[in-house]
Amino acid sequence: MNVYFAEFIGTAILILLGGGVNAGVSLQKNFFHGGGWLAICVGWGLAVAMAIYAVGDISGAHINPAVTLGFAIVGGFEWALVPGYIVAQFLGAMTGASLVWLHYLPHWKATADQGTKLGVFCNSPAIPSKYANLFSEVSGTFVLLFALSFLGLNKFTEGLNPLVVGLLICMIGLAMGGTTGFAINPARDMGPRIAHFMLPIAGKGKSGWGYSWIPVVGPVLGGVLGTLSYQAIFNQNIMFTLYPCVLAVVVLIVLAIKEQSANSETQ
């Protein structure tokens, strides 16, 4: 198996299992309906672990464009492989989402709410607030890539590393995911969103394109900032690209605070 097909398979596994948990919790008339946020966080963590077990030895199991770009920006991954990895990840995510749709085929019609159906595939904010939502995705993915950088330096019992990464995903979901649903992965959101748009899902509504850029831009910025920050703090290697990333986040924080102040004045 080549590395691109491995990324395709790994990302499809991630979305099939993680999206499957979303569907079980959300869709009506299935035995897991109402399983709750803890089930979603644990389910996505285990989905990541299973994907790493499946293809980690072949492609490194990035299964996330933010991971691919984050490691490439600090020289930890070949730039020549980046486009193929990202295309494979998006195609794998679309495939995994399509399999979730097929598996729960009778349950889409049984579920009336269009937003619930969309939420099986992709993210939306608990409180719509453009800059705050973007910062949530930046910060969550920053933690992911910063942590992946130092986890890679620690020695675990053979076979345990994927579970540790899965626990990391679960912890990010519990601690930071309640605001936007913790996409922290452009392929995880955009791939299934495209599938939602294309598939003949019974009673579906719009695919939420107005929000769709946030789970793409936020994770890319946060992931790159995470690996660059790790290099600066632990290896005393301050790369030039760190400065515009920090500036972008500072501007984002200012805009998010101003946005909340404006919202308070209008209420």
Q: What's the pLDDT tens digit per position in 73-103? A: 999 999 999 999 999 999 999 999 999 999 9
pLDDT band at 156 (very low <50, low <70, confident <90, very high): low
CB atoms within 10 A of CB 226: 27
Q: What percent of the chain has pLDDT over 90?
A: 89
- Cα–Cα distance list, 217 to 91, 123, 141, 166, 171 (Å): 19, 14, 11, 23, 22
Dihedral-angle region of residue 61 (phi above 0 means left; psi in -120 to 50 means alpha; beta otherwise): left
pLDDT at residue 157 above 60? no
Contact 1, 19 (CB under 8 A): no
Q: Does domain 3-256 have CATH number 1.10.3720.10?
A: no
pTM summary value: 0.94
Q: What is the pLDDT of residue 238?
A: 93
Lowest mean pLDDT among 62-71, 156-165, 201-210, 240-249: 156-165
How much is the average pLDDT of 1-6? 94
pLDDT for res 261: 83
Domain boundaries, the chain: 3-256
Specify the 3-state DSSP secondary structure of 35: coil
Sign of torsion, CA 224 230 232 237? negative
Residues 6+ apart with CB under 8 A from 197: 207
- Confidence band of 160 (pLDDT split at 50, 70, 90): confident
Residue 164 has pLDDT above 60, yes or no: yes
